Amino acid sequence: MKAVKTLKNIFENPTKQTLDFAGCLFWIGKMSNRLTTYINTNPNFIKENQNRKTIDLGEGSEIIYVPRFVPSDQSWKWFDYLDKEIPWVRPTIQVYGRSCSQPRDTCYVASKGLQGLRYSGYTPHAYSWDECPPLKDILAAVHEALPGSSFNSLLLNKYKNGSDYVAWHADDEKVYGPTPEIASISFGCERDFQLRRRPAKNSSLVQAAHEEPPSKRIKNRVSQNNQQSFVLKHGSLLVMRGNTQRDWLHSVPKRAKADAVRINVTFRHIIEDKSG
């Protein structure tokens, strides 16, 4: 944080020494054109880095949260596109052997040649990136923010109001590998995002989790150290890394006061199927 403030002061109050330093920065910029371009063209660079939060959940699990990842104007442009142009569906899924309507709309996009996705008895149709061009721009922004990431699929969700939700679950499908990185950007209405540590397999909490409705499962059953909660703002980015899907569950609960649409796009990497 101190280094960021010092850098900001150098640019706002130049002296001979700082001009020499700026010359050094120019030389460094030649060695890293992408970073220099980003700093020069993004006036929110310092603010974004100040607001980036990293939460160590322990045992190799990590959360990154950036409340203002996408500028507001661009967020609303992307929200309008996603709301009106994405081919949303509300599929029938299987929950504990029973068929029910998924409590949110969805759409799936993936690169060609990947193994298919299947969850809760549902296999979504995979649209191509070229069918939804703005999604490639959002993907590029995420890759820029997360060096080393290589997302090749995208699951979109649309919550029409506070009655739409996603119950406690983990994105631990085998197609994502043992330690998946999942990056989610939210647009529109703010919603709560909750995490809780998975109980041990031999714990009585496992059985309780199956018997109680989602709204009651978290109450009085986990300590403060075993849960996290975020208010996902318009244009925010949340990243789950490491062992988060192995050791933690997450949900977006119902909220009576959420009276507008929320859309989130979750980027994932599907591992190649080498069995064939």
User: Binding site membership for 2-oxoglutarate: which residues?
Assistant: 157, 159, 169, 250, 262, 266, 268
Rounded to whole angstroms, the Cα distance separating 205 from 52 reads 34
* Chain-centroid distance, C-alpha 173: 17
Q: Which residues are annotated as a binding site for substrate?
A: 172
The residues, ordered by sequence, that sit 6+ positions from 43 with a Cβ below 8 Å of its Cβ are none
Q: Would the CA dihedral through 27, 31, 35, 40 be positive or negative? A: positive
Rounded to whole angstroms, the Cα distance separating 249 from 136 reads 28
**Helix (H, G, I), strand (E, B), or coil: what is residue 274?**
coil
Q: Residue 53 half-sphere exposure, CB side, CA atoms within 13 Å? A: 12
Q: In this structure, what is the dihedral angle of CA atoms 188, 192, 195, 196, given to the nearest 10 degrees?
A: -160
The residues, ordered by sequence, that sit 6+ positions from 139 with a Cβ below 8 Å of its Cβ are 129, 151, 154, 267
**Helix (H, G, I), strand (E, B), or coil: what is residue 80?**
helix
Q: Which residues are annotated as a binding site?
A: 157, 159, 169, 172, 250, 262, 266, 268
